[in-house]
Amino acid sequence: NAGVTQTPKFRILKIGQSMTLQCTQDMNHNYMYWYRQDPGMGLKLIYYSVGAGITDKGEVPNGYNVSRSTTEDFPLRLELAAPSQTSVYFCASSNPGLTASPLHFGNGTRLTVT
Amino acid sequence: DQQVKQNSPSLSVQEGRISILNCDYTNSMFDYFLWYKKYPAEGPTFLISISSIKDKNEDGRFTVFLNKSAKHLSLHIVPSQPGDSAVYFCAASGGSGTYKYIFGTGTRLKVLA
């Protein structure tokens, strides 16, 4: 039972490069999220999706793009990497029904932009 | 504007004693609150939640208390164990129906043996 899987675990990018952080979940959850965690800070919501084909901005969306073509996958795209995007990125999923439900997190991708 | 605040960056407690972690929020529309535990190099792990229709929820050694009038929640861990040493995040959602979760900045708990 894999849960939420993120790849890669680590990545170093040069300024201006682009990359896609992959996230997949096998729990058939409708909701998926991308958060970033900077040192000593909490988790900030970048983008989220309430189902395939539907995405919306979170607290800190600038510099990122997402797509949700399937229930399982929610990739996060960085087009022009900047040092301010150095962070640990967490993907999460949940399946709220009539009430909210907890988020299930992956183990993160540590990204360094130099 | 920080809607969810954890004002204590760190806390040290003796093994066997009670750990109390606090969290304040500003948005009165929040109606669901969660606590997560995070070890280094791992993703956050769900601990316990509470909805706004309750003021207390217990799960084993963990109890969450919600004071809606004060916009305050706390997590009690009794008894504290060395394995509880981690960073604890509170999170809140609600109001928009889209289940966006806003997290606090975390409290690092150290349980001393």
Q: Give yes or no for A40 touching B (CB within 8 A).
A: yes
Strand partners, B60: none
Q: Which residue carries 């009539």 as its tokens?
A: A98
Sheet strand arrangement including A76-78: A4-7, A19-25, A76-78, A64-66
| Percentage of chain A modeled with pLDDT above 70 | 97
Write out chain A residues lying below 8 Å of B98, CB-based. Answer: 48, 50, 56
* pLDDT over 90 (residue B95): no
B45/chain A closest Cα distance in angstroms? 7
pLDDT digits (tens, 9 = 90+) for A75-97: 999 989 999 999 999 999 998 77
Per residue of chain A (114 residues), what is the pLDDT tens digit?
Answer: 679 999 999 999 999 999 999 999 999 999 999 999 998 788 999 999 999 999 999 999 999 999 999 999 999 999 899 999 999 999 999 987 766 788 999 999 999 999
The answer to whether the CB atoms of B42 and A108 lie below 8 A apart is: yes
DSSP-derived secondary structure for B23-67: EEE--TT--EEEEEEE-TTS--EEEEEEETT-SEEEETTEEEEEE
B32/chain A closest Cα distance in angstroms? 7
Q: Give yes or no for B4 touching A (CB within 8 A).
A: yes
Q: What is the pLDDT of residue A42?
A: 87
